[in-house]
Amino acid sequence: MPEVPPEQTGIMDQGSSGNNTAASGVLPSEATTTQPKDAQNGAVKRNRGQTSKDRREFARKKFKERNLEMKQGDKEAQRQPNPERTEARLPKRKVALLMGFCGTGYQGMQTNPNARTIESELFKALVSAGAVSADNATDQSKVQLQRAARTDKGVHAAGQVVALKMIVEDPDIVAKINANLPDQIRVWGYVRVIRSFNAKTACGSRIYEYLLPTYVLAEPNKANVEIARTVPFHERRLPETSAEEMAQLRSYRISPEMLQYVRDAFAKYKGTHDYRNFTVTRGCTEVNSKRHIYHFDVSDPMIIDGGEWVSLKVKGMSFMMHQIRKMVGLIIMMAKERVPLKLIDEMFGSVRVNVPKAPGLGLLLEQPVFDGYNQRAANLKQGASNPVHFDDYKDAIQKFKQKFIYDAIRETEAADAVFNEWVKSNEIFPEDYSYINAEGVIPESAIIVPGQVRRIPPIFLKPGDDADEAAEAAAAAGEGGLPAEAAGASSDDEVDTKDD
């Protein structure tokens, strides 16, 4: 028999080995991964020898690798043509959009589901004008849209700042945005800002104006006081006010003594105080309820269409929900009875009382102020950021205020007597305001006890409501036992409970 060459022997041995493996029922892949027992034990020992630090380092390494792969995948996807894209991708720039609006007919500034709001109108106009791409048209967060301050239902703003990442390639973009907005909402312009600009946190202070008809400061109506004194609580109703009676009210003129009293009263708010009694109960503590007011000024009286008005202007670092309207409401109640001003100091104390909110109709956001940001921006390189202010649009803003805000406030008051209805409700249901007294002290009867059931005026109950059940629900909600409507409120207020 001829001798087989070594090469052939090797080939035959390999084939024989493969056949033996198959015949034994072990797959080739299993055969190749089979390790000696001591080798397996060695691997186990090495794993057991790893420290927590080793495992953390391994996890970090894998995390970085995955992130890198994802980023590379995203870049590759961006380079690939998108058959569904119908427009060219244009660069976005971080801007501060300067705007103003009349809030009549809107449920506030901020977007809310199933509500007509200023923000939703603005965002639709930005999309239609091409300032926001179609890819981002369904989600405001994609362009990082944020406001400097919230506003309540029906509250106006002469100056408001909205920050977002916007397409600004078109030199006529502001005109195109305005063309897609109703006349009562206007965009004044925009300012390029740094990428980290936050309209809320960069805002150092806010200025609000409140237009107040002076007839609300007149002495209490004797007929209303008599109803409160003689008619059982749940049988009281607000009487109709005739046209002649309204004309008489609007002929009221504030005296120099009353004007000085009101100015002194609002001046008491200046400084840093605890405003727990001027906001909602829930979540409010001594720690988060202190606010700083720079000034609260009262103008000389103005005669408009036969009625007398004063303008109240307040500048503060930030405001809580309901704060400004409650500050105004308290002074109105005090002025009507000439309550000693020391009551305001007691209101800054720890006891909780119910303070009525003045109507939202007279309130408007004058402007947010960005002095601190503007000083920092001045030190940046040329073109990195411009100062955020409304100085270039003063004339346009004043014309807009007169036509769409001041006239709207006056016309609404003339048609609906909003302030008179508010005064009547407080005079006929005075039970929660026993601190309005000649001594200027807070009696025990006015102090809110947590969980205490308080009566709700029947004029605020809906058909079919049970008064006792409604009162219990209101107490459980932490609003001092009265629903928002009972204090002249709406669903939200000028700002939210966070700093705005």
Q: How far apart are CA 392 and CA 248, in angstroms?
A: 43
Q: What's 385's DSSP letter?
A: -
DSSP for 419-476 reads HHHHHHHHHHS-GGGTT-STT----GGGBPPTT------GGGPPTT--HHHHHHHHHH
Determine which one of 13, 74, 152, 183 is catalytic. 152
Quick one: residue 9, left, alpha or beta (phi over 0 = left, psi -120 to 50 = alpha)?
A: alpha
The first and second tokens of residue 489, run together, are 């409120």
Sort 306 into a burial class: Cβ within 10 Å, 0-12 / 13-18 / 19+.
exposed
- 135 noted as active-site residue: no
Q: Of 320, 92, 109, 96, which Cα lies nearest the Cα of 199?
A: 96
Identity of residue 321: M
Kindly provide the b/e burial profile for residues 375-399, where b requires at least 16 CB atoms within 10 angstroms of the residue's own CB.
eebeeeeeeebbebbbeebeeebee
Question: What is the separation, in whole angstroms, between the first and last Cα of the chain?
Answer: 102
**Continuous segment of H or E residues that includes residue 343:** helix 342-347
The first and second tokens of residue 318, run together, are 């930030």
Q: How far apart are CA 257 and CA 299, in angstroms?
A: 14
Question: How many C-beta neighbours within 10 Å does residue 445 have?
Answer: 9
**Continuous segment of H or E residues that includes residue 399:** helix 394-400
Q: How far apart are CA 230 and CA 443, in angstroms?
A: 22
Compute the residue count for the chain: 500
In angstroms, what is the C-alpha Rg of the chain?
34
Q: Of 262, 128, 148, which Cα lies nearest the Cα of 202?
A: 148
Question: Which positions are annotated as active-site residues?
Answer: 152
